[in-house]
A and B are shown apart, each in its own frame.
Chain A
Amino acid sequence: MVELTGSQALIRALEKEGTSVAFGMPGGANLPMYDELTRSNIRHVLVRHEQSAAHMADGYGRIKRKAGVCFATSGPGATNLVTGIGTAYMDSAPMVAITGQVPRAMIGRDAFQECDIIGICTSITKYCFQPRSAAEIPEIVKKGFYVAESGRPGPVLIDVPKDVQQEVQDVTFPELIRMRGYSPHIDPDIEQVERAVDLLLKAERPMIMAGGGVHISGAFHELQVLAEMLMIPVVTTFKGKGAFPENHSLALGPIGMHGHAEANKLIIESDVLLAIGARFSDRSVGKFEEFGQNMKIIHIDIDPAEIGKNKQVDVPVVGDVKASLRALVKMLTKRIVKKDGESNWIKHINEVREAMQSTYKDHPREITAKKSLKKLRELLPPEAIVTTEVGQCQMWTSLFFDVIHPGTFFSSTGLGTMGFGFPASIGAKAAKPEVPVVDIAGDGSFNMTENSLAVAVNDNFPVIVFLMNNQSLGMVAQWQRLFYDRRYIGIDLKGGPDFVKIADAYGAQGIRAQSMEELDKAIRTALKSDVATVIDIPIDPEEDVFPFVAPGTGLKDMITAA
């Protein structure tokens, strides 16, 4: 037992959890914990808006597969975190957000910069804590990290009243914690695994749908072993993009609203679908009722509540993806009978893939999103980390940027948060400084959090913003073009800014690439640069994203061109 202030207990507890970097902004209600940071080895990265602090912690957490930490003060500081916390929640990203709160005696009195952040965040966090004494802090921090990182990960909020940060109490740091209402399912039920194996061995047209759970559990190797063992083609959800090497002969790419044409066409032809760490979101499977009517579905997920939430399945396997895949492979090894030659299904897959390639029509312009992304892939080392903003830039990435090394891609896939990619790329760079990190962006999204350029420059995070600039909110414009008879409203961003000048103003490097040759040079320059680089690539505002499964329709209704 030691006598400590609440702030000392908090920072020491964070250090014990292995926190080495935290993103945030100080204010009145978290000054005591910030003061304690001056005596800690934890690196503090000062953001220019708390939303970005949460996205940075999110990007950091997804790459490290450990909770990223962000700080904000009470009231507006805390509410500014909300979008970032919601983003992490929807994508099951581990995060511990720590907010200051007004002193205990002021809570509920509408004090200056008071807000009920726990009330606001309850439905977008795994759990919220509010220590009511300094002595509670070490146990709360330990529980917070445990909840954030274990099972299906997600954000946790710790809201610390200012006087709790200041009070001195006898504090102990527990080695063990007990949470009787929280125990993640790790090992799968072996009978269910057996039923899954039965189905897979009987399947004539099996298909794997790999979701974000493969990333979270780091089960890339197990997935590849399973797919190759049974020669099962692999589609991914968008969140699962890059769970399986996209240049692999069994890879069909992402399904969904802007999935690959061959993936969308072939998944509905399968007779047994093995869904791994996926939640059958509307964006992935289209109409819930229509999807999977003629197939048997095996669903592996660590969250029991995902079983049957959107889709009734035939064989549920509740458990960690890696543990479940290992169990599947182990049982299959005993029972598999090696078949010679290529199955009819694989032949069919290859034919459809070839046929579908011709449906991708490229835009006539010299420099297009598709060509730019192919060029980026060509020049980027496979271990580089890529994230995206949200909108057309994101969906073009889904379609035209192949992820080769599993686990090197992430995006705001669930909440679809514009402004996510750039700060998240800074978080990823903090987690893995030795590899290039690229944010594939559009002008609309980048504009939302571009002030993180100050962070990228001052705190030395030389990330690359690959900005496909169509001077509009392109995805909204595309919908207005397709579904609202070209009645454009609220999409015109011609007013700028000039992103090369913006980069320059922040002390970053801005390069405009107006031809493929200039783009080639710009990417090479950016990869060698030791400051953050914005590559501004003007593209045609009418370059649309195809194929497209319109909202409320099924995968079979995919539109391949305008």
Chain B
Amino acid sequence: MGWNIISALVENKPGVLFRVSNMFRARNFNIESLSVGPTEQPDLSRITVTIDGDEHVTEQLVKQLRKLVDVVDVTRLAIADTVYRELVLLKLKAVDPNSRMEIINLANVFRGKVVDVSKSSIMVEITGTPDKIDAFKRLVEHYGVIQLARTGVSALPRGVVYE
């Protein structure tokens, strides 16, 4: 088993995300995360998929993606030569001032930001690799997670790449 990041440039038009995600379902691929957004070219979107699967499954996923008419280009990113990041919003229980201070300190250690505070809660934003986000979550879980939202991984290869 291996963790893989696959980056696909797709036509930026309605129905494309459905076609891609429907293919994953129909072909029995169990993906870990999927993120989608605009690129430097207005008519293309980038879909970033992470999958925990063996070589055979990952290779098939790449080929099945390439087969889709709306998919213009597919790259399997080499982890070592890739910058990949995910963003998490984590809303934690924080009723007493002590726990609030602890959470703020921990967020600072992780270069996170406090983005919202209420009488009984605190929301932290952290950007990083999925591992870093997992580590932070483990550290603060005992305060009580009220809500959590992760964006899925976004990734680009390092250096100059002409696609």
Contact = CB atoms under 8 A, between A and B. Distances in A.
Contacts of A119: 18
> How many B residues touch the partner, as a band?
20 to 34
A305 B23 contact: no
Interface string B43-59: 00000000000001001
Contact of B11 (A126, A181, A307): A181
Nearest to A124: B26
A304 interface: yes
Contacts of B19: 122
B26 A123 contact: yes
Contact of A181 (B18, B23, B26, B69): B69
B54 to A, nearest CB: 12
Interface stretch (B29-37, B60-68, B102-110, B137-145): B60-68
B71 interface: yes
A101 B155 CA distance: 39
A308 B64 CA distance: 12
B60 A308 contact: yes
Interface in A463-480: none
Interface string A65-87: 00000000000000000000000
Contacts of A126: 69
B67 A303 contact: yes
A506 interface: no
Nearest to A122: B22
B66 A304 contact: yes
A305 B66 contact: yes
B66 A147 contact: no
A180 B72 contact: yes
A132 to B, nearest CB: 9
Contacts of A308: 56, 59-60
From B18, B67, B72, residue with most partner A Cβ within 10 Å: B67
B15 interface: yes
A261 B10 CA distance: 48
A123 B23 contact: yes
Interface in A282-336: 303-305, 307-309, 312
A118 B56 CA distance: 30
Interface string A470-503: 0000000000000000000000000000000000
Interface in A139-184: 147, 179-182
Interface string A167-207: 00000000000011110000000000000000000000000
Contact of B68 (A118, A181, A312): A181
A127 interface: yes
Nearest to A307: B63
A126 B19 CA distance: 11
Nearest to A126: B69
A281 to B, nearest CB: 15
Contacts of A309: 60, 63
Nearest to A132: B14
Given A118-B15, A305-B60, A309-B60, A182 B22 contact: no
A122 B70 contact: no
Interface in A99-139: 118-119, 122-123, 126-127
A119 B25 CA distance: 13
Contacts of B18: 119, 122
Contacts of B22: 122-123
B75 to A, nearest CB: 14
Contacts of A182: 69
Interface string A243-278: 000000000000000000000000000000000000
Contacts of A123: 22-23, 26
Contact of B69 (A118, A179, A303, A307): A179
Nearest 9 pairs of A and B residues by beta carbon: A305-B63, A123-B26, A181-B72, A127-B69, A182-B69, A305-B67, A180-B72, A181-B71, A122-B22
Given A305-B66, A308-B59, 14 more contacts: A118-B15, A122-B19, A122-B22, A126-B69, A147-B69, A181-B10, A181-B68, A304-B66, A304-B67, A305-B60, A305-B63, A308-B56, A308-B60, A312-B56
